Structure 1
Amino acid sequence: MHVLDKFRYCPVCGSKHFVEQTEKSKHCEECGFEYFLNPSSAVAAFILNKQGELLVTRRKYEPGRGTLDLPGGFCDIGETIGEALIREVKEETNLTIKEKCYFCSLPNKYRYSEFDIPTLDAFFVCSVEDETLLKAADDVEEALWMPLSDVRTEQFGLRSIRQALHDFLQKRVENLKK
């Protein structure tokens, strides 16, 4: 079921003539109100320690419970994408980001409450102040450093994470060849 199917009545005037206009919008035929379902912003971090190992987490909850992930999450209202990145990494790993560099962004669908929520996921390559403070918290079951040679994208539960990880690993290989 598409999330817009839950909106049966116009939230402005209450009319039942609140109809699908496009895949991402509904329009009220009575009062003219239009609602657009735009993607939610999310962030994820590629963090390497001094040994060149990647910080990976294990998801505590669905979607993808028990699969690997990168530290990150959704942006809050009024928060910049950089602020969200810093907050999410701190909440999930107890680590403080020292530097961040934009890597890429990818559209995704995040399954929540039996709906596919469209997201736009922004990925950053980060360094942290003190990697020894690593501690899994919040919605992370486990946080660990993994050698890049052991990273298998199929072990990661979310599509955009798998794609960004693939691209990240490819770029690392290309940079080593230079």
Structure 2
Amino acid sequence: MSHCLDIFRYCPVCGSQHFNVNNVKSKKCADCGFVYYLNPSAATAAFIENEQGELLVCRRGKEPVKGTLDLPGGFTDMEETCAETIAREIKEELNLTVDSSEILFSLPNWYCYSGMNIPTLDFFFVCRVSDFSTLQAADDVAEAFFVKSEELDPEQFGLTSIRKAVTIYKEKKISANHSCDQN
């Protein structure tokens, strides 16, 4: 198996060909000493429910895993918090305004982009949206629709961390419903 940084053959500082694997997360230039660390990129995804408790899901319009289900979200830009990212991405992808958001958990992931597996740290939010009348798929979303939690199939979600997150969401939703039934 090749190192995730093998795509980088030359030192970005001095141009040397002696840019070698330093450890599992870095490469080091033998000529100038520059060390490049491939740290995870921050990404976000949102769980958004309507008044009926159905989850808003998207169909991916672009690779990787084009055509599979996804949650709205995307990569964090420089000088942006994850909460700002999720609100911006939901506006860009779905034309919806986030009223409030709360982080639920994070999961490590690998995202294949331009032939390179990029490590990510995906932050999952629950977001509240009060007005769905402007809902429209845009950007890299081919379509958006609501799914009842009992009909969610995590295997239809193409990205590994999203699949894991939907599984966690579904399990918590089921256990919350059962705990209410027992009272």
TM-score by length of 2: 0.93
> What amino acid maps onto 2:68 in structure 1?
T
The equivalent residue for 1:152 is 153
Q: Which runs of 5+ in 1 are unaligned?
A: none
In the alignment, is the contact (CA less than 8 A) between 1:95 and 1:129 conserved in 2?
no
In the alignment, is the contact (CA less than 8 A) between 1:2 and 1:115 conserved in 2?
no
The equivalent residue for 1:74 is 75
Q: Which runs of 5+ in 2 are unaligned?
A: none
The equivalent residue for 2:62 is 61
1:16 is displaced (CA, Å) by: 1.7
**d(CA) in 1 for partners of 2:101, 2:75:** 17
Deviations 1:81-115 (A, max 9, x none): 11100000111111111111111100111111111
> What amino acid maps onto 1:27 in structure 2?
K
Q: CA RMSD in A?
A: 1.1
**d(CA) in 1 for partners of 2:50, 2:3:** 41
1:139 has 2:164 as partner: no
> What amino acid maps onto 2:175 in structure 1?
E
**d(CA) in 2 for partners of 1:171, 1:158:** 20
Counterpart of 1:132 in 2: which secondary structure? Answer: coil
**d(CA) in 2 for partners of 1:16, 1:24:** 19
> What amino acid maps onto 1:130 in structure 2?
D
The equivalent residue for 1:163 is 164
The equivalent residue for 2:21 is 20
Identity within the alignment, %:
56
In the alignment, is the contact (CA less than 8 A) between 1:99 and 1:126 conserved in 2?
yes
1:49 is displaced (CA, Å) by: 0.1
1:144 is displaced (CA, Å) by: 0.4
> What amino acid maps onto 1:126 in structure 2?
C
In the alignment, is the contact (CA less than 8 A) between 1:18 and 1:26 conserved in 2?
yes
1:6 is displaced (CA, Å) by: 2.1
In the alignment, is the contact (CA less than 8 A) between 1:64 and 1:158 conserved in 2?
yes
> What amino acid maps onto 1:43 in structure 2?
T
- Runs ≥4 in structure 1, deviation > 4 angstroms? none
1:132 is displaced (CA, Å) by: 2.1
> What amino acid maps onto 1:28 in structure 2?
C
1:174 has 2:175 as partner: yes
**d(CA) in 2 for partners of 1:145, 1:77:** 31
> What amino acid maps onto 1:161 in structure 2?
I
1:174 is displaced (CA, Å) by: 1.6
In the alignment, is the contact (CA less than 8 A) between 1:44 and 1:73 conserved in 2?
yes
For these two proteins, the number of residue pairs brought into alignment is: 178
1:2 is displaced (CA, Å) by: 4.2
> What amino acid maps onto 2:129 in structure 1?
V
In the alignment, is the contact (CA less than 8 A) between 2:7 and 2:116 conserved in 1?
no
